[in-house]
Amino acid sequence: MRKYVIAAAAAVGLAASAQATTIPAGTAGFVWTASPTIDTTAGTFAGSSLFTTSATGGFAGSEGAGSSSGTLSFSNVVGTTLDAALANFINFGDFAFSVSKVTTQGYVNAGGSISASLYLLGTTIADGFEATPNSVTLTFNSTGGSPFTASATLSNPPSDVTPAVPEPATWAMMLGGFGLIGAAMRRRRTDVSVKFG
């Protein structure tokens, strides 16, 4: 019986050591070195050459040339989230980031200038690591009809995304709070006197 317990413990230990681990926490910053192709009417972003400007934590040492592949779809409406299935959208060092969701955090198209901020949720893979949930904040802009410029920051673990428009429950709670404050202000006050002596 004792042999079976030792054999089972050894098997569990070997299985645990064979499993890959997630990529350690860190960030990576990117700048597209060639102007990406962006169609704001159709809501598409396609870039090719990028450069990793900074990398920390689990991404340290991956600075240098990278690439972006595929066409990312986005909405011009702030707060809109689209499902995506874009594998290996950003490739840098030994890492590849794939996109599963795209949320428009900001979008302005006024006076011939366009700027947008997108929150991409997905996973990053690398040799020796299992797919790790990450997020990318991607910004792009064009001023006065000039070519687009783009930059991005990858975060591991994913950064929080704050909704641009409060949810209905938040509005209801806020209005209820204002109603209670108004009721408390209108309530009759009674005089209380205390005498010592």
Question: Per residue in 31-69, pLDDT tens?
Answer: 999 999 999 989 999 988 889 889 999 999 999 999 999
Given a cut of 50, whether residue 17 has pLDDT beyond it is no
> Domain boundaries in the chain?
20-182
Residues with Cβ within 8 Å of residue 154, at least 6 apart in sequence: 27, 28, 29, 30, 59, 90, 97, 124, 134, 135, 136
Task: Tell me the backbone φ, ψ of residue 35, rounded to 5 degrees.
Answer: -60, 125
What is the rounded (10 degree) CA torsion for 124, 93, 65, 99? -10
pLDDT in tens, 109-149: 998 899 999 999 999 999 999 999 999 999 999 998 899 99
